[in-house]
Amino acid sequence: MTSTRIRSYDAENGVTERTDETDRTDESQRTADERTADETVGEDEQVGEDQQVCPECGGDLATHDNETVCADCGLVVEEDNVDRGPEWRAFDSKEKDEKSRVGAPTTKMMHDKGLSTNIGWQNKDAYGNSLGSKQRQKMQRLRKWNERFRTRDSKERNLKQALGEIDRMGSALGLPEEVRETASVIYRRALDEDLLPGRSIEGVATAAVYAAARQTGTPRSIDEVANVSRIDEMEFKRTYRYIVRELSLEIQPADPEQYVARFASELGISDESERRARELLRNAKRKGLHSGKSPVGLAAAAVYAGPLLTNEKVTQAEVSEVAQVSEVTIRNRYHELLEASESGVVPA
């Protein structure tokens, strides 16, 4: 119980940290133009805030370059702001070009901070003259390789971010190493098959984690996974379906029994009750009671019914809470479970 709590707490921390980071990434993902515009707005706001009254005499404040001064008493309210513009002056546009030492802003979104080479598509040299055929072929080759390296790098980066995401979600869900590796493999395949365009990295990563968890027999419910993911549930499900279909992953419906251990320990029920719960599930399975029903609901019902058989007290509400299943479903299922086990216990 205690360990579970600590883990989920850590997980929460991980989530928030990560969220911050991804937000920042989103920020830098926007185009340079947008960013410049935003900064400008920000400056304006700051100036507007500065345009308050002097704390000493209540006079108006005026801002010059790097100082904010009271127009009445001369008190320097603030000085040495960071941006005081270029230290040089230019008298015409030509001089400006020569003296300016800055270029396009760098972005953290691209692996090379946007500093990589771009080779233009026009076969012209720096003066606008057409190139000779030999030069043209050379440029053709350079373009091809430049492009190849760049796209490979971008895939690598994509993968790196996704793997970080997978790792994060994996530990937040308390999944073993094996699952994360499987998730990585799934993600790699998705990447190789060009399934990414039009879909968010988080979305695919989340889907990969969910699929991997089920494949390796340590399933987590859709809700649980969605809770640690940044994307919303709708998109998650859609992406998951898509990924499963496109990669033709073979995923059997989750085995309810695999949920039992977790629910049981979270509720702190006895081993005996847990054993009864598993028994109930096995019986039900033999009778084909479980087709079409939600595995989580079935597991929840068993975890509720198990303690009932051993006179242990567990309320439907508690089970419903840890299993994220409605009480109604638990009721319906556990009636079925008990019926199945009474009317004909199939000998093993």
Partner DNA sequence: CATTCGTGAAGACGAAT
Partner DNA sequence: ATTCGATTTCACGAATG
Binding site for DNA (CB under 7 A): 237, 241, 292-294, 297, 314-317, 325-329, 331-333, 335
Nearest distance in Å: CB 191, DNA: 24
> What minimum distance in Å lies between the beta carbon of 249 and DNA?
14
Instruction: Give me the least distance between CB of 165 and DNA, in Å please.
Output: 22
Q: How far is CA 196 from CA 17, 199, 200, in A?
A: 25, 5, 7
Burial class (CB in 10 A: 0-12, 13-18, 19+), 287: middle
Q: Which is nearer to DNA, 69 or 330 (CB)?
A: 330
Q: Which residues lie closer than 8 Å to 325 by C-beta, 6 or more apart?
A: 294, 296, 297, 300, 319
Quote the CA–CA distance of 332 and 66 in Å, as a whole number: 72
In whole angstroms, what is the distance from residue 281 CA to residue 278 CA? 5
Contact between residue 289 and residue 337 where contact means Cβ atoms under 8 Å apart: yes
Q: Which residues pair with 79 in a beta bridge?
A: 67
How far is residue 306's CA from residue 320's CA, in Å, rounded to a whole number?
A: 14
Kindly state the tokens that stand for 123: 């076969």
25-61 core/surface letters (b: 16 or more CB in 10 A; e: else): eeebeeeeeeeeeeeeeeeeeeeeeeeeebeeeeeeb
Task: Give the DSSP letter string of 34-90.
Answer: HHHHHHHHHHHHHHHHHSSB-TTT-PBEEEETTEEEETTT--EEEE--S----SS--
Q: Collapse the DSSP code of 130 into the 3-class scheme (helix H, G, I; strand E, B; otherwise coil) and give the result.
A: strand
Q: Minimal distance in Å, beta carbon 196 to DNA?
A: 21
**Which 3 state secondary structure label does DSSP give 124?**
strand
Compute the least distance from the CB of residue 246 to DNA, in Å. 15
Cβ proximity to DNA, 126 vs 317, nearer residue: 317
Of the pair 57, 251, the CB lying nearest DNA is at: 251
CB of 328 to DNA, least distance (A): 4
Smallest distance from the beta carbon of 188 to DNA, in angstroms?
25
Give the nearer residue to DNA in terms of CB position, either 154 or 332.
Answer: 332
Smallest gap, in angstroms, from Cβ of residue 254 to DNA? 12
Nearest approach, Cβ of residue 290 and DNA (Å): 9
Please report, for residues 57, 65, 85, 338, the alpha-carbon distance to residue 78 in angstroms, rounded to integers and kept in the order given: 15, 11, 17, 76
d(Cα 69, Cα 66) in Å, to the nearest integer? 10
Residue closer to DNA by CB (options 107, 320) is 320
161 or 324: CB nearest DNA: 324
Could you give the angle at which helices 233-246 and 201-215 cross, rounded to 10 degrees? 70
Output 168 or 290, the one with its CB closest to DNA: 290
- Taking the least distance from each CB to DNA, the nearer of 155 and 293 is 293
Nearer to DNA, 172 or 323 (CB): 323
